Amino acid sequence: MKLGVIGAGSWGTTLASLLGKRGHDVSLWVYEEELLASMKSHRVNHLYLPGVKIEESVFLTGDLGEACRGAECLIMAVPSHVYRDVLERMAPSLRGDEVLVSATKGIEAGTLMTMSQVATSVLGEVRYAVLSGPSFAREVSLGLPTAVTVAAFSLDLAQRLQEEFSTERFRVYAHDDVLGTELGGAIKNVIAIAAGISDGLGLGLNARAALITRGLSEMIRLGAKMGANPLTFGGLSGVGDLILTCTGDLSRNRTVGLRIAKGESLEQIRKSMLQVAEGVTTTLSLRELARREGVDMPIAEQVYLVLYEGKDPLQAMKDLMNRPLKREIYFHDPFSS
């Protein structure tokens, strides 16, 4: 299969090499000119994936049209805040029958669209899938065992991609709930910031487990209200990714929380981070989305107040713990009136 990977951050570079080793004809679009020159010379992405060799068969290019040309499948691995712009730049080079696979986790600011909705608004009807799940790029690049989900509106398409992307160390499961898979990948980043704050404050493992579990409840509530399959959030793209991002030392979003707890400002953290922590911008969009849908998301709300309103993190914890007592689990039928 001829593939174009759009975006040479750690995840895009990793996927390009993985699929190149799998035997596919892969082009990788690199935005930064200096980085492209370095990658061509050394076959290493020294900025985003240092120390890991890029598969020799992967073609590196700074020409977006060249990366798209002739591709049967295009994998989007750019940050959510530039997703629309990059798609608009790609549009003139597309035939219309390509499969677009999103490896981006976020909710667009302003429109509150998931990435599949952004793609439809830019390109119209498109063969779309989303790749998500617990997968730190560095571990995948080192060949450590990983399992992820690929979801498409057509299960047949998801199963085809499952076959094309799976390797001995990268196991792909097929699913047909695109919205739920996207929401899980976006929301878990916000909860991971909360988990990082909790760990940074030394609140203990009990507190972290509570945040993960109640964060999952928030994810399910919003997803069910918006029409996603609640069972999706019990899978790899939901609780699987949530656990990894809330507990793993490679998590950029957890790192943001840790640094907030130590007293650093969001501005300081943003300026010093080389790669995007999607949860920072998703926090803004998620708050508005929850309000629009009328869904209670107290952890996400407290993360917003800490990041953007200067609320003391310890006070945020106290406010979460002292909310009115309630029943833990109740049945909610998203299809009922």
* Residue 205 located in a structural domain: yes
Q: What is the pLDDT of residues 178-234, one digit of tens each?
A: 999 999 999 999 999 999 999 999 999 999 999 999 999 999 999 999 999 999 999
The reply to whether 95 and 195 lie within a common domain is no
Alpha helices in the chain (DSSP H): 10-21, 33-42, 64-68, 83-90, 115-123, 137-141, 155-165, 178-200, 205-226, 241-247, 252-261, 266-272, 278-293, 298-308, 313-321
The reply to whether 144 and 171 lie within a common domain is yes
The reply to whether 28 and 98 lie within a common domain is yes
* Residue 95 located in a structural domain: yes
Q: What is the pLDDT of residues 197-209, one digit of tens each?
A: 999 999 999 999 9
The reply to whether 186 and 274 lie within a common domain is yes
* Residue 262 located in a structural domain: yes
Q: What is the pLDDT of residues 274-320, one digit of tens each?
A: 887 899 999 999 999 999 999 999 999 999 999 999 999 999 999 99
Q: Which among 24, 176, 161, 48 has a CA at the least distance from the CA of 101?
A: 161
Average pLDDT estimate for 139-164: 98
- Give the pLDDT band (50/70/90) at residue 336: very low
Q: Which among 111, 112, 108, 146 has a CA at the least distance from the CA of 11?
A: 146
Between the CA atoms of 150, 43, 28 and 51, what dihedral angle is there, to the nearest 10 degrees? Answer: 40
Q: What is the pLDDT of residues 109-131, one digit of tens each?
A: 999 999 999 999 999 999 999 99
Query: 3-state SS string over 34-54?
Result: HHHHHHHHHCEECCCEEEEEC
- Give the pLDDT band (50/70/90) at residue 331: low
Domain containing 241 equals 179-321
The reply to whether 163 and 212 lie within a common domain is no
* Residue 200 located in a structural domain: yes
- Give the pLDDT band (50/70/90) at residue 332: low
Q: What is the pLDDT of residues 253-277, one digit of tens each?
A: 999 999 999 999 999 999 898 887 8
Query: What pLDDT score was predicted for residue 56?
Result: 96
* Residue 331 located in a structural domain: no
Quick count: other Cβ atoms within 10 Å of Cβ 77? 24
Those residues whose C-beta lies under 8 Å from the C-beta of residue 100, and which sit 6 or more positions away, are 73, 74, 76, 119, 123, 126, 127, 128, 129
Specify whether 21 is catalytic: no
**Catalytic residue of the set 188, 271, 311, 326:** 188
DSSP output for 71-140:
-SEEEE-S-GGGHHHHHHHHGGG--S-PEEEE------TTT---HHHHHHHHHSS-EEEEEESS--HHHH
The reply to whether 244 and 196 lie within a common domain is yes
Report how far residue 305's alpha carbon sits from residue 320's, in angstroms, rounded to the nearest whole number.
Answer: 12
Q: How far is residue 249 from each of residues 23, 45, 245, 256, 258, measured CA to CA in Å?
A: 32, 21, 8, 11, 10
Residue 337 has pLDDT above 70, yes or no: no
* Residue 305 located in a structural domain: yes
Residue 335 has pLDDT above 50, yes or no: no
The reply to whether 142 and 195 lie within a common domain is no
The reply to whether 272 and 312 lie within a common domain is yes
Q: What is the pLDDT of residues 41-92, one digit of tens each?
A: 999 999 999 999 999 999 999 999 999 999 999 999 999 999 999 999 999 9
The reply to whether 107 and 196 lie within a common domain is no
Q: Which among 49, 259, 262, 237 has a CA at the least distance from the CA of 147?
A: 237
Give me the CATH number covering residue 225.
Answer: 1.10.1040.10
Domain count, the chain: 2
What six digits make up the tokens of 179? 């919205």
* Residue 327 located in a structural domain: no
